[in-house]
A and B are shown apart, each in its own frame.
Chain A
Amino acid sequence: QQQVKQSPQSLIVQKGGISIINCAYENTAFDYFPWYQQFPGKGPALLIAIRPDVSEKKEGRFTISFNKSAKQFSLHIMDSQPGDSATYFCAASKPGSARQLTFGSGTQLTVLP
């Protein structure tokens, strides 16, 4: 059962544009929603994360928008740069002993110069 659905699978944006990646979750027990960035040959690196008590969180050019009632959250990358070209994963975790991450399937972002 895929508990976190991510779209689009791939995204091409011009330099300076806005990149938007969307995720939807099913399990209402999730209470932590991070986004990870992964470059080829590297492990995922935490980019930004949000908890459901806020609707938006901004860190630099990266913003998470969170809609609890719709069970959706999205990543917005403002002023996208070629260096942002990577694979982005949304994830979710819920309270429990292990607090493991449930990942989406990933979005490959290409920012054209």
Chain B
Amino acid sequence: ETGVTQSPTHLIKTRGQQVTLRCSSQSGHNTVSWYQQALGQGPQFIFQYYREEENGRGNFPPRFSGLQFPNYSSELNVNALELDDSALYLCASSVNRGGGGYTFGSGTRLTVV
């Protein structure tokens, strides 16, 4: 049974650019959630995808968007990057929208300069 894998592990972007982060969910999981973890803080919920549709969203602007594919993998896209977007982005997969708990990936460390 494979866990949650995220790519890339590290990324440096310039302010104003766009970035795409990728996540492969754990085998058997059909739900993917994305979290942003700023340095020294707890993760904050960005949004969740279930059956290829956005199923819930936290307090993040529309320039944060996502996709889920038929194989349940997912992408997080961030447009018009700002310096404050620098953070660890975590993907968490689960069964049926999180009722059975979450498995987190190791994250993508995004630095915006």
Name the A residues within 8 Å of B58 (CB-CB).
Answer: 100
Partner of A101, one of B41, B102, B105: B102
Q: Which chain A positions have C-beta within 8 A of B99?
A: 99
Give, as a whole number of angstroms, the nearest-CB distance from B83 to chain A: 21
A34-B101, A98-B55, A99-B97 are contacts. A43–B40 as well, Cβ < 8 Å? no
Question: Cβ of B97 and Cβ of A106 under 8 Å apart?
Answer: no
- Decide: A97 near B97, CB < 8 A? Known: A43-B90, A103-B42: yes
Chain A residues with Cβ below 8 Å from B102 are 46, 101
CB proximity to B under 8 Å, residues A27-66: 34, 36, 41-46, 49
Number of B residues near A (Cβ < 8 Å) is 26
Q: Which of B33, B41, B56, B104 contacts A105 (CB 8 A)?
A: B41
B residues in contact with A100, CB < 8 Å: 33, 45, 48, 56, 58, 98
Known A105-B41, A106-B41; contact A99-B104, beta-carbon cutoff 8 A: no
Q: How many residues of A contact B (CB 8 A)?
A: 25
Q: Give the residues in chain A near B103, CB-CB below 8 Å.
A: 46
* Contact A96 B56, beta carbon cutoff 8 Å: yes
State the CA gap A104–B97 with chains docked (Å).
21
Contact (Cβ within 8 A) B97 A98: yes
- Smallest CB–CB gap between B55 and chain A, Å? 5
Asked whether any CB of chain B lies closer than 8 Å to the CB of A7, the reply is no
A102 at interface, CB cutoff 8 A: yes
A99 to B104, CA, bound (A): 15
19 contacts between A and B (CB under 8 A): A42-B106, A42-B107, A43-B105, A45-B104, A46-B101, A46-B102, A46-B103, A98-B33, A98-B50, A98-B55, A98-B97, A98-B98, A99-B97, A99-B99, A100-B33, A101-B35, A102-B45, A105-B42, A106-B41
The list of the 5 closest CB pairs from A to B, nearest first, reads: A98-B56, A103-B42, A43-B104, A99-B98, A100-B45
